[in-house]
Amino acid sequence: MNRSCRMFCHLRVGVYKINCRSFGVISQASLDSNRNNGHGFAFLHIQQNQTSKRGIHMVGKTPLFLINNKTNLSNLKPQIRRASFMENYIEIVSNNAVVKGCEDCLLYLHNLTGLPWWIDIVLTACILNLTFRLPLTICTMKQKVKLRTVYEKLMSSMPQMTKKYKMEVFKKKLGLLEAKKLMVNIYQEKERELFIEHNCHPRKVTVAELSTIPLLLGVSIAFRNLSGNSVSSLFSASIAKSPELMTEGILWFPNLAIPDPYFILPMLLGVQSLRRDYVLRSTAPKGNNTSVWIKYFMTGCSVLFMFIATVCPTCMVLYWICNGFFSNMIRLGCNLPQVKKFFKVDIPLQPLKTNPSIARYVKALNERKK
């Protein structure tokens, strides 16, 4: 009997996945799709006339993993099952156009510079922050200055709004509930007019701060795919697209394709995130009711990311640390008066103690009634 091999393969056709266990000598494998049965099933045809060594054979882009065994080829029993929702979702996440574009850009930068991967990771974080985060930070600062002007005008127009409210209540003889609705409408109408006049809105600040998250996720998943630890490898084996990541590290992490064996980088990431959260909380305006739950939420996210980083490839964690470092440097640098003057950002003469809100407006009116 000739030397035989055992093959276990996962083949995807549409939304179906075929699990084949075949025993025998493999010389040639071809994948055909039978479209006449209306199901779109795929079948694997194996010829048994030559020997094959242990290793990995490819059918298109699908790897077939061969392990030595001695059994008859008649035991071939393909099992067809529908791919689960999680498998399809993870396949879409790890192989979408954004991730593919990030992979191509990272490989192009690495081939262009010819430097080790750890330097290219630092350069990638620096380039992305200067290209995307710096302009967004400047736009956010200008929006905040405009919002400050709107809030100051709202505070100064409080007596006029109060007078208008009292006149409307007296003329229409409104009840308590209707008077509160009128109060809210007067405030929101004035606020809307000022937003249109100064071309600003709080949502623009939020959108500008959250717009970098898709890019961060795309680059992170691209690094994971390049290291061979792709998201889709949870269900099937994956091969590193850039084997240089295994040898172009530095210091205690020469292999960038595996997690940090000493957990030093995840700890640095956690400390960096906690320090950033502390700085953001210390610079937030006083009297903000949402600052309490935001503080605990951000602290919990920082601790969670620290534990997630312990199982991620070192290249991903190193990119996160570099990205956070350059982000903090840009945030601190943009607060300098010289930088604000260069980018034509108005510097307020006096800090705004509290931001006006409809709750404070209602409270002020109730106190005046008493």
DSSP state string for 285-297: PTT-TTHHHHHHH
Both 78 and 114 in a single domain?
A: no
216/125 Cα distance (integer angstroms): 10
Residue 83 has pLDDT above 80, yes or no: no
pLDDT at 353: 47
pLDDT, tens digit (0-9, with 9 covering 90-100), for 253-290: 888 888 888 888 989 988 888 888 777 766 555 555 55
Both 218 and 342 in a single domain?
A: yes
Q: Decide: 316 and 220 in contact? Cβ < 8 Å.
A: yes
Both 217 and 139 in a single domain?
A: yes
- Domain assignment present for 303: no
- Domain assignment present for 166: yes
Residue 8 has pLDDT above 50, yes or no: no
pLDDT, tens digit (0-9, with 9 covering 90-100), for 19-64: 343 333 333 333 333 333 333 333 333 333 333 333 334 444 444 4
Both 39 and 111 in a single domain?
A: no
pLDDT at 56: 39
- Domain assignment present for 299: no
Distances (CA, A) of 353 to 55, 280, 285, 359: 69, 16, 7, 16
pLDDT at 126: 92
Residue 5 has pLDDT above 80, yes or no: no
Both 209 and 120 in a single domain?
A: yes
Average pLDDT score, the chain: 69
Residue closest to 182 by CA, chosen among 169, 173, 201, 200: 169
Domain C-terminal end among 83, 117, 150 = 83
Both 12 and 79 in a single domain?
A: yes
- Domain assignment present for 174: yes
pLDDT at 127: 92
Q: Give the range with max mean pLDDT: 45-54, 181-190, 224-233, 330-339.
A: 330-339
Residue closest to 263 by CA, chosen among 314, 316, 325, 323: 314
Contacts of 286 (CB under 8 A, 6+ apart): 353, 354
Which is more confident, 234 or 337? 337
Residue 123 has pLDDT above 90, yes or no: yes
Could you tell me the pTM of the whole model?
A: 0.66
pLDDT at 235: 40
Contacts of 185 (CB under 8 A, 6+ apart): none
Mean pLDDT confidence for 146-166:
80
- Domain assignment present for 38: yes
Domain C-terminal end among 83, 111, 134 = 83
Both 167 and 205 in a single domain?
A: yes
pLDDT band at 348 (very low <50, low <70, confident <90, very high): low
- Domain assignment present for 284: no
pLDDT at 160: 77
- Domain assignment present for 333: yes
218/102 Cα distance (integer angstroms): 7
- Domain assignment present for 325: yes
Domain C-terminal end among 48, 83, 118 = 83
Both 128 and 64 in a single domain?
A: no
pLDDT, tens digit (0-9, with 9 covering 90-100), for 287-324: 555 556 767 777 788 888 888 888 888 888 999 999 98
DSSP character at residue 84: P
Domain span at 205: 103-259+312-369
Residue 143 has pLDDT above 90, yes or no: no
Q: Which residue has the tokens 């200008």?
A: 142
Both 113 and 229 in a single domain?
A: yes
Both 239 and 364 in a single domain?
A: yes
295 CB burial (10 A radius; 0-12, 13-18, 19+): middle
108/106 Cα distance (integer angstroms): 5
Q: How many domains does the chain have?
A: 2
Both 39 and 154 in a single domain?
A: no
Both 69 and 124 in a single domain?
A: no
Distance from CA of residue 16 to its chain's centroid?
Answer: 29
